[in-house]
A and B are shown apart, each in its own frame.
Chain A
Amino acid sequence: MPGKRSPARLIVALSVAAVLAVFLLYTSIAGGGTPSLIPSQAAGHAGRISVGGMVVGKPTGDAHAGGLHFRLRDPKGSATIPVVYTGSVPDLFRTGREVVVDGKLRSGVLVAVPDTLVTKCPSKYTPKT
């Protein structure tokens, strides 16, 4: 019932507390996000990581049958990492393209989580060759 102190402040305080509680609950259960790395940083990470880099060399295999094998290189470096990927391959995927893929490291090879391969959408084309 209306007292001297407005219940509005109480509501706001309780809600902020509730939101924080929900938030902390989630982050404590789900963990703090997927590390976003380049190939040279990937070594040593257990668990799911997201690796971005340039596709180098010729991809081999089939993403829908047995896995697509390719190598990712640091955008501005030389460290590379082998990736084996299954799932949908974006149409823009090709050697020389910058891509990002999620996965787990197993014996130095990034085993990708299916369907997590994305290419950076270029705002311009590469010039006609």
Chain B
Amino acid sequence: MPDLGRAALVTSFLLLSYATVAGAFAAWHGRRRLAESAQNALVAAFAATVVATVVLLVALAQHDFSFTYVANHTSRELPLGYTLTAFWGGQEGSLLLWLLVLCGYSVAAVLTARRAGREVLSWVVPTLGLVGTFFALLLVFVASPFATQVAPADGAGLNPSLQNPYMAIHPPMLYLGYVGLTVPFAFAMGALLARRTDERWIVATRRWTLAAWAFLGVGQLLGAHWAYVEIGWGGYYAWDPVENAALMPWLAATAFLHSVMIQEKRGMLKVWNVLLVTLAFCLSLFGTFLTRSGIIQSIHSFTQSSIGPWFLGFICLITAGSLALIFLRLPLLRSKTRLESLVSREATFLYNNLLLVALALTILWGVVYPLLSEAVTGEAATVGKPYYNFFLHSFGLPLLLLMGIGPLVAWRRASLRALGRTFLWPLAAAVAAGIALLAAGAGSSRIGVIAYTFSVFVLASIVLEFVRGTSARKGLGDVGWPGAFSSLVARNRRRYGGYVVHAAVVLLAIGIAGSSAYQTVREGRLRPGDSMTVAGNRLVFRGFQTSTESNHRAIRANIDVYRGGEYIGRLRPGKNQYFAEGQVSNEVAIRHSVLTGGDLFLIADQVNADGSLDLKALDKPLVNLIWLAGLVFIGGSLITLWPDAREQRRLAERYEGAAVQA
């Protein structure tokens, strides 16, 4: 069986190399049959990778511990679900997942993106092939999932904190995002290599980019939620290099999604767009490298591994190659259109891009700082939360404001008078909210008040957009409000879906501001009968309770919660001691408040021999808005992704009409 897996990977490697070399040759010399053959090689490589995947899955399901990988990441008593998701629990398996998703995306993109044009596709195939060849090379020669050993009686098992649904779904979501960014990159390079100056590659990859970006966003929120409920330190994001590894490409992709809109509408920013998509892809490779090479100290440090130098080399190759290509094609990319006014939607998108890229780059600087400082001074130095928070505020708050301003500004040139009128209501709402907040005591955090007032501004402007749009639509024809609304959204899916996504980001901002700027933390040692108060909740410790489960012993502290003298409920934070693995896990107790959207978060810091408890209690206002934002984000993304028959027809007309070969 392992032989089949290895053979399948070697086959995949050979096919992908062929797709790269033959594809490049065919594109350069214009050979149709060879180009088709290279494209077919991608399909065959996907099939081979699927075979390798199935081999590993079967080995996992059968608890075949002769596979080193299976023995290292599962055990006999592990439930089937987690046994199968251990597929991506280790380095080799996650590389295989990368390759699988890449091949899948490559085949799907190449088969469905005919609109990009055959000569562009003929260059896309070798580009995708090149990336695939790299991963296949690692899998065959450096980090094989099919290494074998004398089978031990039982495997090493899975860390209990990784045994929950979030950890099952968080890596595939992230990978669908990371790998998905390869598609727009490949098409951008394909268009450059084919010397095309039109927008076909953007039109062809629009949905792919959106989908990848959405997966990356959702994957990060899942990771944050897992950290919040499972690791349970009271927070959801620690600016750990591995977390930043996913945030940086996401920020670059967000910038890219906006700037391609400018290129579509006005034909500007062509050079910026190809640079940006290259940056997003390189950051995504870098993110995979960070997560898998252990090169930067991180509490998530995976084993310091041998693939680090390979990744670094590949990233350098891609960066150098792309920059060289862009430089060579610079004359082609010059556009005639100029930015007409500093107060226009193009300008706002440009500011938005600059802020997003600035934020991504400052995070990158913070992530590599230990390496750089060690190289320069001999001593590694790390930057901490204050560094990241400073730049998050400096760049993030203006970005938040821009989300409200952008949609209200016209293309080309907006007169300040018109702006004044459209801004009036949102501005009034924001000022009113600000005053109300200050009166309610929110002035304890300046950043918090700013974030809240900006959020109100943006929400108001989004609501107004929907209202104005619906009434305009209604004024056109014979429809009632609901009909006008659905017709409005259906005809402008990208715009209104985008507004919904903006609303999600605002909810995220409010949730983050509330739960960090306005949180209350109390710590103390409690004997049975003692109490502690946090944000109006009186917590009375009643004593410990121990129980024995199938694979662990559970110690729980019984804490009764009272608000204003009234008994609200009992929370039971504590610890689990796992027999097999000999580890202790932290089990937090969280009480959600539906009314305020906040959480009461209890951590049993230390269980003491004398029967006392060291308790840490946090009140986190509005934190559940973060998770709600995730749902709204998914909804908005779906709206923008939804196929639009009218738009497809229009595009077909455009390209058929120009009588260009498909």
Q: Is B111 an interface residue (CB 8 A)?
A: no
Could you list 17 further interchain pairs (A-B, Cβ under 8 angstroms) beyond the known A2-B340, A36-B370?
A: A2-B338, A2-B339, A7-B342, A7-B347, A8-B339, A11-B347, A12-B354, A22-B391, A26-B390, A33-B384, A64-B525, A89-B606, A91-B585, A119-B299, A120-B299, A121-B299, A123-B302
Cα(A30)–Cα(B301), bound, Å: 27
Expressed in whole angstroms, the minimum distance between the Cβ of B294 and any Cβ of chain A is: 10
Report the separation of the CA atoms of residues A2 and B340 in the bound assembly, to the nearest whole angstrom.
5
Contact, CB under 8 Å: A22 / B379: no
Contacts of B156 in A (CB 8 A): 124-125, 127
Sample 9 A-B pairs with CB under 8 A, ordered by A number.
Answer: A7-B339, A11-B342, A26-B390, A33-B381, A52-B297, A65-B525, A89-B606, A91-B583, A120-B299
Given contacts A2-B338, A64-B605, A64-B606, contact A122 B159 (CB under 8 A): yes
- Cβ A36 vs Cβ B380 within 8 A: yes
Whether A100 touches B580, Cβ cut-off 8 Å, given contacts A8-B338, A32-B373, A32-B381, is: no
Is B644 close to A, CB under 8 A? no
Instruction: Name A102's closest neighbour in chain B (CB-CB).
Output: B384
Chain A residue with Cβ nearest B240: A118
> What distance in Å separates the Cβ of B147 from its nearest Cβ neighbour in chain A?
15
Which of B72, B381, B390, B525 has a CB less than 8 Å from the CB of A30? B390
Partner of A125, one of B233, B390, B582: B582
Interface positions of A from 1 to 40, Cβ below 8 Å from B: 1-2, 6-8, 11-12, 15, 19, 22-23, 26, 30, 32-37
B373 touches A33 (CB 8 A): yes
A60 interface residue, CB < 8 Å from B?
A: no
Kindly list chain B residues whose C-beta atoms are within 8 Å of the C-beta of A22.
Answer: 391, 394
Known contacts being A8-B350, A30-B386, A34-B384, is A91 close to B575, with CB within 8 Å? yes
Specify which chain A residues have a CB less than 8 angstroms from the CB of B582 in the assembled complex.
125-126, 128-129
Name the interface residues of A43-102: CB closer than 8 Å to any CB of B: 50, 52, 62-65, 88-89, 91-92, 100
Closest chain B residue to A4 by CB distance?
B338
| A37 surroundings in chain B (CB, below 8 A) | 379-380
**Chain B residues with CB below 8 A from A65, complex form:** 525
Set of chain B residues within 8 Å of A41, measured between Cβ atoms: 379
Residues of B within 8 A of A127 (CB): 156
Minimal Cβ-Cβ distance residue in A for B586: A91
How far does the alpha carbon of A12 sit from the alpha carbon of B353 in the complex, in Å? Answer: 10
Closest residue to A29 on the B side, CB-wise? B390
B88 within 8 A of A: no
Count of chain A to chain B residue pairs whose CB atoms are closer than 8 Å in the complex: 117
B342-366 Cβ-contact flags toward A at 8 Å (1 or 0): 1000010011001000100010000
Knowing A50-B382, A124-B72, A128-B582 are in contact, say whether A100-B341 is a contact too (CB < 8 A).
no
Contact A92 B614 (CB under 8 A): no
Q: A6-B338, A33-B373, A118-B299 are in contact. Are A23 and B381 (CB under 8 A)?
A: no
- The interface size of chain B toward A, counting residues with CB under 8 Å, comes to 54
Please tell me if B584 contacts chain A, counting CB pairs below 8 Å.
yes
Contact assessment for A36 and B583 in the assembled complex, using a CB-CB cutoff below 8 Å: no
Residue of B nearest to A92 (CB): B583
**Chain B hits for A121, CB < 8 A:** 159, 299-301
Q: Across the interface, do A125 and B381 meet the contact criterion of CB distance under 8 Å? A: no
Assembled-state Cα–Cα distance A39/B553 (Å): 36
Closest residue of A by beta carbon distance from B575: A91
Closest chain A residue, CB of each to CB of B233: A88
A91 near B382: Cβ-Cβ < 8 Å: no
- Distance (Å) between the CB of B557 and the closest chain A CB? 14
Residues on A with C-beta less than 8 A from B350 are: 8, 11-12
Instruction: Establish whether residues B362 and A36, one from each chain, have CB atoms under 8 Å apart when the complex forms.
Output: no
CB proximity of A128 to chain B, nearest CB, Å: 7
Q: In the complex where A32-B381, A35-B379 touch, is A26 in contact with B605 (Cβ < 8 A)?
A: no
Question: CB-nearest residue of chain B relative to A68?
Answer: B606
Chain B residue at minimum C-beta to C-beta distance from A119: B299
Is B656 among interface residues, defined by CB-CB distance under 8 A?
no
Which chain B residue lies CB-closest to A33?
A: B381
Contacts of A11 in B (CB 8 A): 339, 342, 347, 350-351, 354
- Chain A residues contacting B390 (CB-CB under 8 Å) are 26, 30
Cβ-based interface call for B90 (8 A):
yes
* A50 neighbours in B (Cβ, 8 Å): 382
Q: Which residues of A contact B525 (CB under 8 A)?
A: 64-65
Q: Is B314 an interface residue (CB 8 A)?
A: no
Knowing A26-B390, A88-B605, A120-B301 are in contact, say whether A33-B338 is a contact too (CB < 8 A).
Answer: no
- Minimum CB–CB distance from A100 to chain B (whole Å) comes to 7
CB closest residue in chain A, given B269? A8
Residues in A neighbouring B370, C-beta threshold 8 A: 33, 36
Q: Which residue of A lies closest to B89 (CB)?
A: A123
Asked whether any CB of chain A lies closer than 8 Å to the CB of B581, the reply is yes
Chain A residues whose C-beta falls within 8 Å of the C-beta of B407 in the assembled complex: none
Is B369 in contact with chain A by the CB < 8 A criterion? yes
> Is residue B662 within 8 Å, beta carbon to beta carbon, of the partner chain?
no
Give the residue name and chain of the A residue nearest to B578 (CB): A125
| B157 / chain A contacts, CB cutoff of 8 Å | 125
Q: Given the complex, which residues of A lie within 8 Å of B300, measured CB to CB?
A: 121
| B62 sits at the interface (CB 8 A) | no
CB distance from A47 to the nearest CB of B (A): 11
Q: Is B520 an interface residue (CB 8 A)?
A: no
Closest A residue to B302 using CB positions: A123
B580 interface neighbour in A19, A91, A118, A128, Cβ under 8 Å: A128
The verdict on A23 contacting B387 (CB below 8 Å), with A36-B382, A52-B297, A121-B299 known, is no
Query: Among A26, A89, A92, A123, which residue has its beta carbon within 8 angstroms of that of B90?
Result: A123
Are A63 and B383 in contact, with the CB atoms below 8 A? Answer: no
**Which chain A residues lie closer than 8 Å to B354 at the CB level?**
11-12, 15, 19
Q: How far is the CA of A23 from the CA of B364 in the complex (A)?
A: 13
Tell me the complex Cα distance, A22–B351, Å: 16
- Restricting to B428-446, which residues have a CB under 8 Å from any CB of A? none
Residue in chain B with minimal CB distance to A22? B394
Give the CA-CA distance A32 to B369 in the complex, in Å: 9
* Distance of B87 from chain A, by nearest CB (Å): 15
Do A6 and B339 touch (CB < 8 A)? yes
Contacts of A36 in B (CB 8 A): 297, 370, 379-382
Chain B residues positioned under 8 Å from A23 (CB to CB): 362
Query: Which B residue sits closest to A115, measured CB to CB?
Result: B233
Smallest Cβ distance from B465 to chain A, in angstroms? 25
B596: Cβ under 8 A from any A Cβ: no
